[in-house]
Amino acid sequence: MDQVVQKGGCLCGAVRFEVTGEGANPHGCACRFCQRHTGAPLAAWVEFACEQVRWTGTAGAPAVYRSSADSSRAFCALCGSSIGAIDDAPTIALLVGSFDEPDQAAFAPAYHSFEDGVPGWWPRGMPIVDQA
Ligand SMILES: [Zn+2]
Ligand SMILES: [Zn+2]
């Protein structure tokens, strides 16, 4: 059986990726690093082993900024889109919103990290409104 291949990339398309096989540890994070990196109060992540990820766009691998002792933040140097986090551990965490098809059950967060960082004004238990 062929393994599933999923694609994604940045706003301008210079950074593109293909991931082969299942991701791990889908989770939300509201730490200050994720908030600054994405500009959003919450980030949704899914993790892959480095060998599962291929950079296929014209820019090749994304630019990186070392944000903490053991992790770097990856982004497109042309359009500024946040793409993921590359840990010194052999994993790459990709931001779910950068996938071409982000609405997948496999991306549903199993847990939050740093949930205390979610702003107090963020509505809890809010209804989902279909904007179609
Ligand atoms: Zn870009
Ligand atoms: Zn975080």
Q: Is the pLDDT reported for residue 33 higher than 60?
A: yes
Q: What is the pLDDT of residue 3?
A: 85
**Ligand 2 midpoint to CA 96 (Å):** 13
Ligand closest to the CA atom of residue 57: 1
**Ligand 1 midpoint to CA 24 (Å):** 25
Phi/psi of residue 24, each to 5°? -135, 155
Alpha helices, DSSP H, located in the chain: 32-38
pLDDT tens-place string over residues 1-19 = 678 999 999 999 999 999 9
Q: What is the pLDDT of residue 129?
A: 67
Percent of the residues in the chain that have a pLDDT greater than 90, as a whole number: 64
Distance (Å, whole) CA 12 – CA 10: 6
Q: What is the pLDDT of residue 89?
A: 72
Q: What is the pLDDT of residue 112?
A: 78
Q: Is the pLDDT reported for residue 132 higher than 60?
A: no
Phi/psi of residue 89, each to 5°? -60, 155
pLDDT tens-place string over residues 43-72 = 999 999 999 999 999 999 999 999 988 889
**Ligand 2 midpoint to CA 86 (Å):** 12
Extract the tokens encoding 125: 């238990």
Quick one: average pLDDT of 79-85?
A: 97
Ligand closest to the CA atom of residue 38: 2
What's this model's pTM, rounded to 2 decimal places? Answer: 0.89
